C-alpha cells in the first residue's frame, strides 16, 4: 500500500477559499487536537466541520473519540462549500459512509511534526484530502514518498504510517480532510492492468438473466466494475496480499 497518492486534479476550491476568507472566526472553535500536551499539531489551525457531535463530549476525550456516527457541525452553515466538496469526494471515491471532515491550516514556516494517527476513527476511515491552498514549497511527507499538492488536487494517504507536513513557503497551507469508509478497496498501481482486463472481458460478455429463455443482455458497466473488483479481491486473496 503506497503511503500517499495523488488521485485527481481540478476540484473547484475557490468557493471554499472565499467562504474561509469571509469567516475568520470559524477557526479554532475546537482545540482538542491542537492544544493537547506534546501534540504534533501545535502550530496548526483547525475547523472541525464534521465529527462526533459536540453534545456528546462529557469531558472524557477517550470516550468522545471512540466509535461514533459523525454529524455536521454548525459551522457548515458558514462554509457550505466544505459540504459540497466532501459529498463530491464521497461520490468520486465510491464512499459508503462519511466520517469526519476537517479543515487544517499550517501557517507560513509552520509544520506538523512526525506522528502516526491512532484511535477508532483514524483506523476505520480512509483519508482523502482536497488541497484548498498550497504550493510547491509545501510537502506532505512519508518515509517512502512525499506529495506537494496544488489547489484543487485530490489525494489519499495512510495516516497509520509515520507522516509530517512542512510549509516552507510564505503562504498558508489549507487542506480539507475527508474521512471515508468504502466497501470496495481502492486499486493498487499493480492492479490497474488486471482490472482493465477483467473489465474489458466482462463488458464483452452476454449474460442470460432468465434460465430457459432466449433473452440475453450485456452486463451493465456498473455490474462489470463490481465483478472486476470482486476478481481483484480474489486475486489478492490468492496472492496472499492484504486488502
Ligand atoms: Fe496526521
Cell numbers placing 89: 469526494
Q: How many Å lie between the centroid of ligand 1 and the Cα of residue 209? A: 48
- Which pLDDT belongs to residue 148? 98
- Which pLDDT belongs to residue 1? 53
- Which pLDDT belongs to residue 33? 67
Query: 4-181: what fold?
Result: Jelly Rolls (2.60.120)
Whether the CB-CB separation of 106 and 44 falls below 8 Å is answered with yes
- Which pLDDT belongs to residue 243? 46
Q: What is the pLDDT of residues 191-238, one digit of tens each?
A: 889 999 999 999 888 776 666 666 777 888 888 888 898 888 888 888
3-state secondary structure the chain: CCCEEEEECCCCCHHHHHHHHHCHHHCCCCCHHHHCCCCCCCCCEEEEEEEECHHHCCCCHHHHHCCCCEEECHHHHCCHHHHHHHHHHHHHHCCCEEEEEEEEEECCCCEEEEECCCCHHHHHCEEEEEEEECCCCEEEEECCCEECCCCCCEEEECCCCCEEEEECCCCCEEEEEEEEECCCCCCCHHHHHHHHHHHHHHHCCEECCCCCCCCCEECCHHHHHHHHHHHHHHHHHHHCCCC
Distances (CA, A) of 82 to 6, 10, 13, 31, 176: 20, 16, 9, 19, 8
- Which pLDDT belongs to residue 67? 92
- Which pLDDT belongs to residue 83? 98
- Which pLDDT belongs to residue 165? 96
Confidence (pTM): 0.76
Whether the CB-CB separation of 107 and 137 falls below 8 Å is answered with no
- Which pLDDT belongs to residue 41? 74
Q: How many Å lie between the centroid of ligand 1 and the Cα of residue 159? A: 6
Residue whose C-alpha cell is 461520490: 91
Ranges for all domains in the chain classified under CATH 2.60.120.330:
4-181
Cell numbers placing 57: 463530549
Whether the CB-CB separation of 122 and 130 falls below 8 Å is answered with no
Q: How many Å lie between the centroid of ligand 1 and the Cα of residue 199? A: 35
- Which pLDDT belongs to residue 15? 98
Q: How many Å lie between the centroid of ligand 1 and the Cα of residue 29? A: 19
- Which pLDDT belongs to residue 192? 86
CA-wise closest residue to 188 among 241, 130, 131, 142: 241
Q: How many Å lie between the centroid of ligand 1 and the Cα of residue 57? A: 22
Q: How many Å lie between the centroid of ligand 1 and the Cα of residue 41? A: 8
- Which pLDDT belongs to residue 209? 66
Give the integer Cα–Cα distance in Å for 80 and 196: 37
Q: What is the pLDDT of residues 125-147, one digit of tens each?
A: 999 999 999 999 999 999 999 99
Q: How many Å lie between the centroid of ligand 1 and the Cα of residue 155? A: 14
Low-confidence ranges of the chain (pLDDT < 50): 243
Q: How many Å lie between the centroid of ligand 1 and the Cα of residue 49? A: 17
Amino acid at each position: 500500500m503506497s503511503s500517499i497518492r495523488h488521485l485527481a486534479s481540478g476540484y473547484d476550491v475557490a468557493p471554499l477559499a472565499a467562504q474561509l476568507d469571509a469567516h475568520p472566526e470559524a477557526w479554532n472553535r475546537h482545540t482538542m487536537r491542537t492544544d493537547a500536551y506534546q501534540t504534533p499539531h501545535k502550530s496548526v489551525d483547525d475547523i472541525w466541520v464534521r465529527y462526533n457531535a459536540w453534545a456528546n463530549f462529557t469531558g472524557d476525550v477517550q470516550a468522545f473519540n471512540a466509535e461514533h456516527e459523525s454529524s455536521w457541525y454548525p459551522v457548515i452553515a458558514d462554509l457550505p462549500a466544505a459540504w459540497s466538496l466532501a459529498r463530491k469526494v464521497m461520490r468520486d471515491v465510491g464512499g459508503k459512509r462519511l466520517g469526519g471532515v476537517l479543515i487544517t491550516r499550517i501557517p507560513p514556516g509552520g509544520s506538523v511534526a512526525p506522528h502516526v494517527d491512532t484511535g477508532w476513527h483514524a483506523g476505520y476511515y480512509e483519508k482523502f484530502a482536497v488541497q484548498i491552498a498550497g504550493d510547491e514549497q509545501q510537502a506532505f511527507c512519508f518515509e517512502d514518498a512525499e506529495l506537494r499538492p496544488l489547489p484543487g488536487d485530490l489525494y489519499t494517504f495512510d495516516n497509520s504510517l509515520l507522516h509530517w507536513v512542512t510549509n516552507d513557503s510564505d503562504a498558508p497551507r489549507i487542506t480539507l480532510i475527508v474521512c471515508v469508509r468504502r466497501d470496495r478497496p481502492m486499486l493498487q498501481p499493480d492492479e490497474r492492468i488486471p482490472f482493465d482486463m477483467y473489465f474489458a472481458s466482462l463488458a464483452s460478455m452476454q449474460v442470460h438473466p432468465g434460465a430457459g429463455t432466449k433473452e440475453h443482455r450485456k452486463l451493465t458497466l456498473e455490474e462489470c466494475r463490481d465483478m472486476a473488483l470482486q476478481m481483484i479481491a480474489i486475486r489478492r486473496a490468492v496472492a496472499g496480499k492484504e486488502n
